[in-house]
Amino acid sequence: MTIEVRVPQLPESVADATLVAWHKKPGETVQRDENLVDLETDKVVLEVPAPTSGVLKELKVDNGATVTSGQVLAILEESAAQAAAPAQPAAATAAKQATPAPAAAKAAAPAQASAASARRDEGSSQKLSPSVRRMVGENQLDPGQIAGSGRDGRITKTDVVSHLGQKTGSVAKQPATEARQPSPAPTVPGSGRGARRVPMTRLRARIAERMVQAQTTQALLTSFNEVDLKAVQELRARYKEKFEKEHGIRLGFTSFFVKACIEALRKYPVVNASVEGNDIVYHEYYDIGVAVSTDRGLMVPILRDADATSFADIEKSVADVARRAREGAIRLEELTGGTFTITNGGVFGSLMSTPIVNSPQSAILGMHKIQDRPMVLDGQVVVRPMMYIALTYDHRIIDGREAVLFLVSVKESLEDPARLLLHV
């Protein structure tokens, strides 16, 4: 019986997707729920699993093609082995009753080891994220030979890079007659120097489009302030172990900044608003985007109704969506919407920056590196853990007054965290 493998239903906001790569070839056996192909949309990579076990009979779409919801991707010939499944227990019982001769057992050992290796390889391939799977395929690597350091043994991009480094090192030790000669890099005409040209992924192209759109359609301006994080650091140190024991998650800085921004948004709702035509839309809810850096580009998962979410739940949600965004397992609906965004360049060492608004939102807060600096307090020079914060905003609807007072509110909440409990 033949079965059609189709493009899953895409969300309303997504018109089409690009077929990134097939993971099976015609004639190969596939298992039920095994990923057959990756489809890339503007925001996420979707995996299309096999609806049943069988043999891949025909591919209807090539790599790089644009596909739409419901389009036929491949033809799968359903396996007849499932019908014979009830006979397997009897066969297994018969096999147990027969005692193989020592020579036969010895001869069967290599085959058993090979089968076990194949199962390990199959298990490893199931743990590959789309970006890692693509990297493994492009370098013709065996996933079973790569040690995974990620969660549940998942192979990460760092693991692949490390494996490639070891592999390259072993080649370098071979005799010169056996060493593989590297292929010459393509050259730019007339330059005489090597260069490499690769097309943008759909995500990178979409990021570029949205950034240019924000710059050309909004009147962007950035205001700065600085925050003394000594009180937050002391609070985290005081309750660190108890918080983690009680909630199963570390108490980070993100939840403090999310809560501080919500308090400031309550006071200055225009910062939480957006422009639609000649109207200003004031959002009476707080869906906060938290920017996450991934191998494929920047993603902004949304924390829905963050004002009604506890510190622990914010930390759990951020950790969960960040992990799934990097693994390519995040859902498209988790990246849509949002009324305000927070981005943290400090994790990469940035001391100051001017972030770009995530349109159609009207503002974004940039966090930066915490650095000890001398500060004058009560006439005395003291060393404090300071952070510059930046608010980029659409000056069409947000005046400098609201922007500056918003930053002051965030600063006051973080320098006196008790305000977050009292909503003052």
Catalytic residue list: 395, 399
Alpha-carbon distance of 329 to 69, in angstroms, equals 19
**How open is the CA angle 350-373-383, to the nearest 5 degrees?**
145
What are the two backbone dihedrals, phi and then psi, of residue 205, each rounded to the nearest 5 degrees? -65, -40
Residue with tokens 């057992």: 105
What are the two backbone dihedrals, phi and then psi, of residue 262, each rounded to the nearest 5 degrees? -65, -40
Give DSSP secondary structure letters for 227-284. EE-HHHHHHHHHHHHHHHHHHSS---SHHHHHHHHHHHHHH-GGGG-EEETTEEE--S
Alpha-carbon distance of 109 to 100, in angstroms, equals 12
Of the CA atoms within 13 Å of residue 20, those in its CB half-sphere come to 27
Alpha-carbon distance of 52 to 79, in angstroms, equals 8
User: Token pair for residue 186?
Assistant: 């393509």
Angstrom distances, CA of residue 144 to CA of 148, 155, 183: 9, 10, 27
Closest to 269 in 3D by CA, of 213, 307, 311: 307
Closest to 339 in 3D by CA, of 416, 266, 412: 266
Alpha-carbon distance of 294 to 131, in angstroms, equals 10
Alpha-carbon distance of 424 to 415, in angstroms, equals 13
User: Token pair for residue 163?
Assistant: 């494996």
Quick check: 258 and 290 in contact, CB under 8 A?
yes
